[in-house]
Amino acid sequence: MTERRGPWTCHGRVPLCATSRLTAYRDEVTLPHGGRGTYDWVQVPDQVRVAALVDGELLVVEQYHYLAGPMWQLPGGAVEPVDRSSCTAAQRELAEETGYRGGRWGDKGSLYALPGLTPARVHLWSTIDPTPSRAAPEPAEADLLVRHVSVEEAVFAVRDGRLQCAASAALVTMLALERSQ
């Protein structure tokens, strides 16, 4: 296997570790300066984040993350193999975490959250005026709290460090910019 990726060349790939959530690889590469080396990277599912506006307020979830600690972020999670699209995943995650369903959905693009570590993307979605229903969080989300905050409060939460999820921060900023135009 030889594969060119811009100024890089991959000569081979070895899986280092595989679990139900990720696979870590080591590629044998020629680096941009011409020397040989290795490049370790991780394959994980794409993710989604949702900016849901309910009566003009943004739904924000507060949760303690095992690795990062407590934080606010927008509802979201993994794009699962059963999902037909990232929009399906976004709709499922919003319903699971907050109980809200439907609304007027809009695609806000995608980001590479950690481009030096994984090719996984975070797909950004918005929905306006979804309807309330019963939430069904996963067991690891038993501590999840749903907050209704103004977009301005969400922007302030990005600035003061309460909302630290990078994709959530980008989507909140995007939403605030759209509203100011």
Tell me the H-state helices in 107-165.
151-160
Q: For residue range 63-96, what is the model confidence (pLDDT) as tens digits?
A: 999 999 999 999 999 999 999 999 999 999 999 9
Task: For 10, list phi and psi in degrees, rounded to 5.
Answer: -95, 125
Name the nearest CA neighbour of 95 among 45, 140, 47, 50: 50
Domain count, the chain: 2
Q: Using DSSP bridges, classify how beta strands 8-18 and 47-54 pair: parallel, antiparallel or unpaired.
A: unpaired
Q: Are residues 32 and 93 in the same domain?
A: no
Q: Are residues 119 and 170 in the same domain?
A: yes
Q: Are residues 82 and 132 in the same domain?
A: yes
Q: Note the pLDDT of residue 106.
A: 98
Q: What is the pTM of this model?
A: 0.94
Q: Are residues 89 and 159 in the same domain?
A: yes
Q: Are residues 102 and 39 in the same domain?
A: no
Residue 181 pLDDT greater than 90, yes or no:
no
Q: What is the CATH number of the domain that holds 54?
A: 3.90.79.10
Q: Note the pLDDT of residue 1.
A: 81
Q: Are residues 130 and 66 in the same domain?
A: yes
Q: Are residues 37 and 96 in the same domain?
A: no
Q: Are residues 28 and 81 in the same domain?
A: no
Mean pLDDT of the 103-112 span: 98
- DSSP label at residue 34: S
Residue 180 pLDDT greater than 90, yes or no:
no
- DSSP label at residue 71: E
Q: Are residues 36 and 54 in the same domain?
A: no
Q: Which domain holds residue 37?
A: 3-43
The answer to whether the CB of 63 falls within 8 A of the CB of 137 is no
Q: Are residues 165 and 121 in the same domain?
A: yes
- DSSP label at residue 82: T
Q: For residue range 18-40, what is the model confidence (pLDDT) as tens digits?
A: 999 999 999 999 999 999 999 99
Task: Based on DSSP, count helices (H) and strands (E) in the chain, helices before strands.
Answer: 3, 11
Residue 114 pLDDT greater than 90, yes or no:
yes
Percent of the chain with pLDDT over 90: 98
Tokens for 36, please give them: 């040989």
Q: Are residues 81 and 119 in the same domain?
A: yes
Tokens for 21, please give them: 């959530």
Q: Are residues 61 and 131 in the same domain?
A: yes
Question: How far does CA 176 lie from the centroid of its chain?
Answer: 19
The pLDDT mean for the chain works out to: 97
pLDDT-based confidence at 116, cuts 50/70/90?
very high
Q: Note the pLDDT of residue 168.
A: 98
Residue 47 pLDDT greater than 90, yes or no:
yes
- DSSP label at residue 132: P
